[in-house]
Amino acid sequence: MEHESSILYVPVNALWHSVQHRFAWDIPDHVIMALLVLLISCIVFPLMSRKISRENPGHFQQMLELVVSGLKGLLNDIIGHGGDRFLYIIGGFAAFIFVSNIFSLFFFLQPPTSNPNTTFGLAVCAFLYYNYQGIKTQGVLHYLKHFLGPIAILAPLMVFIEIIGHFARILSLGMRLFGNIFGEHAATGIFMGMLPFVLPWPMMGLGIFGAFLQTFVFIMLTMVYIAGATVVEEH
């Protein structure tokens, strides 16, 4: 069955309260899991980078090069020429979300992305980033001009609609990722509790596919938002 908390929740909070006595609150489990994702990334990726070789690339390097080239191709196709300059932010989102989603395959861990605080945090980061890039590329006045719409008399209404539409993107990104990962994790826990010796492998395959799919959807939408914010119209 699905666990209410990860195996690290109790020992981490016990350590937390042993080193400080000022704050009585516990560290939330999704924060612990998110920090674990960052720790794994900070250890695994640098270690793997030492094995990169131009002459004799290994299987991991070939897979990584395929992923990077695919992301660059998507960025250039969606954003346009030079879109691969956003590879670092998109790659960061992809790595964090995918590893977080993969946690759902382990009964003793909890995926950080099954908590809305994590998914909405990611959504807010994407929201702030694409608006920042839009202002940086077009300038404040020219970027805000797009909120007025093409007809001057309808500008007050269009500003309201555009603001609602942009903030709705946070809701869309956050709820989509949270709902799918939470639902998959809960369903996996229920079915594996009912038939633990029959379903584990098929459910693990479904979980890996779901982890990849939800990561792809998040970064794809982020690319689309960046493209919409950074496009410069020619007059």
161-197 pLDDT, tens digit per residue, is 999 999 999 999 999 999 989 888 777 766 666 665 5
CA distance 180 to 213: 10
CA distance 172 to 177: 8
Q: How is residue 1 written in tokens?
A: 């069955």
pLDDT of 34: 96
| 15-19, 118-122, 130-134, 165-169, range with the lowest pLDDT | 15-19
Domain boundaries, the chain: 9-230
- Going by the DSSP 8-state scheme, the letter that residue 15 receives in this structure is H
pLDDT at 233 over 70: no
Give the global pTM.
0.88
Give the model's confidence band at 231: pLDDT under 50 very low, under 70 low, under 90 confident, else very high. Answer: confident
Q: Which of 167, 7, 22, 191 is nearest to 103 (CA)?
A: 7
Element spanning 17, H or E: helix 9-19
pLDDT at 235 over 50: no
The three-state secondary structure class of 199 is: coil
CA distance 119 to 222: 13
Element spanning 156, H or E: helix 155-194
Q: Is the dihedral of CA 128, 109, 220, 69 positive or negative?
A: positive
